[in-house]
């Protein structure tokens, strides 16, 4: 079933200053007067907004004469939670935030065709038809992970698009490693922990022969999933299962976005070597015996490197080298 519940679609420049003020003064009382003067809004408007935030799950105390105090935030990826961090330059300048959606990548494609700008973020608490590669399904249960897509309009040739997958993988692995989790990148698009899948990346591109129209980078990170069932039980894991405690999704999300901007800017400046270097340091594919199952053939050999375009280089048993652009890799 594909249900779509949009909570809000907004530009960063129209962010809700009242919520931001409360977030930045968490645990402190701020008076209605102070809010009203600083933000140039009426007391009635403030009261209305506060009620709206409470409905979203923000715990806000209101005490006569003292004012409002934000006690706790709900575990939701509400756009202001991202905007309160002022370091991001282009990612999330516009955010579409859903409670539920079919697939963030599918939505991003439509929005990109409609002209939404570079850096637009599509976030959902849940996907009912989350996608993996080749039409496979990505399980995205409500509030358990980070399910997002980014619209990019890079100045790259279509053959360079795989570089963006590497940027996303590096950003994702680095954000997770900040928690002290030794995850690794499996070429081309998975983040593994002890051989189990913790996160996946799905890059989709719309291009002409010589230029890219847009790229959609989809990212799914299993954060607080307590139990996987069926086939996932043996192949998937989550940050919760590794840390044995709940993990703050907002922090991982913001760290990921920052890392993504950092490495994406290297790519934009023609400094892809730095991305490659980091990717190589974080990967668990190079040096391994692998079997690649492609659309038309299977290849076995040693994955000995990736090239400047992000293609995997395999040395087969007969000594010949194959350059792999896509396919399913099983590590031996």
Check binding of 298 to ligand ADP (CB under 6 A).
no
Closest contact distance (angstroms) between CB of 53 and ligand ADP is 30
Closest contact distance (angstroms) between CB of 132 and ligand ADP is 2
With a CB cutoff of 8 Å and minimum separation 6, the contacts of 80 are 15, 16, 19, 20, 23
Binding segment for ligand ADP among 131-139, 269-277, 292-300, 306-314 (CB under 6 A)?
131-139
Q: Which of residues 225-254 bind ligand ADP (CB under 6 A)?
A: 231-232, 235-236
Check binding of 194 to ligand ADP (CB under 6 A).
no
Phi, psi of 85 (to 5 degrees): -85, 120
Closest contact distance (angstroms) between CB of 4 and ligand ADP is 20
Closest contact distance (angstroms) between CB of 35 and ligand ADP is 41
Closest CA to 88 of 101, 75, 96, 79: 79
Closest contact distance (angstroms) between CB of 296 and ligand ADP is 17
Closest CA to 156 of 203, 220, 95: 203
Check binding of 21 to ligand ADP (CB under 6 A).
no
* CA–CA dist 238, 247 (Å, integer): 10
Q: Which two tokens stand for residue 116?
A: 């939404």
What is the DSSP code string of 24-72? HTTTSEE-HHHHHHHHT--HHHHHHHHHHHHHHT-EEEEETTTEEEEEE
- Number of chain residues interacting with ligand ADP (CB under 6 A): 19
Binding segment for ligand ADP among 169-177, 194-202, 281-289, 294-302 (CB under 6 A)?
194-202
Pick the binder of ligand ADP from 190, 204, 259, 278 (CB under 6 A). 190
* CA–CA dist 129, 3 (Å, integer): 9
Pick the binder of ligand ADP from 6, 316, 328, 332 (CB under 6 A). 328
Confirm if 168 and 203 have CB atoms less than 8 A apart: yes
Pick the binder of ligand ADP from 132, 286, 309, 331 (CB under 6 A). 132
Binding site for ligand ADP (CB under 6 A): 132-134, 136-139, 189-190, 197, 200, 202, 220, 222, 231-232, 235-236, 328
């Amino acid at each position: 079933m594909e249900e779509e519940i949009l909570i809000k679609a907004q530009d960063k420049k129209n962010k809700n200053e009242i919520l931001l003020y409360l977030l930045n003064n968490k645990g402190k009382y701020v008076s209605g007067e102070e809010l009203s003067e600083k933000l140039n809004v009426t007391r009635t408007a403030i009261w209305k907004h506060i009620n709206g935030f409470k409905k979203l799950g923000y715990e806000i105390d209101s005490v006569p004469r003292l004012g409002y105090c934000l006690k706790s935030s709900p575990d939701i990826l509400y756009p202001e939670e991202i905007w309160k961090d002022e370091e991001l330059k282009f990612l999330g300048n516009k955010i579409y935030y859903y409670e539920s959606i079919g697939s963030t990548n599918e939505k991003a494609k439509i929005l990109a065709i409609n002209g939404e700008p570079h850096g637009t973020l599509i976030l959902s608490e849940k996907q009912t038809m989350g996608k993996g590669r080749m039409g496979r399904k990505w399980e995205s249960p409500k509030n358990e992970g980070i399910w997002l897509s980014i619209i990019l309009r890079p100045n790259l040739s279509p053959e360079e698009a795989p570089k963006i997958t590497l940027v996303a993988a590096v950003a994702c692995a680095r954000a997770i490693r900040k928690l002290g989790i030794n995850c690794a990148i499996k070429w081309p698009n998975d983040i593994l922990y002890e051989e189990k899948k913790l996160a996946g990346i799905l890059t989709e591109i719309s291009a002409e022969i010589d230029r890219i129209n847009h790229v959609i980078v989809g990212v799914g990170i299993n954060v607080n999933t307590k139990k996987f069932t069926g086939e996932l039980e043996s192949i998937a894991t989550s940050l919760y299962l590794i840390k044995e405690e709940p993990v703050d999704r907002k922090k991982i999300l913001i760290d990921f976005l920052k890392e993504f901007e950092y490495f994406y800017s290297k790519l934009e400046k023609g400094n892809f070597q730095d991305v490659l270097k980091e990717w190589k340091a974080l990967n668990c594919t190079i040096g391994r015996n692998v079997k690649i199952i492609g659309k038309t053939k299977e290849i076995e050999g040693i994955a000995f490197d990736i090239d400047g375009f992000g293609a995997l280089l395999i040395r087969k048993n007969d000594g010949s080298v194959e350059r792999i652009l896509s396919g399913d890799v099983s590590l031996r």
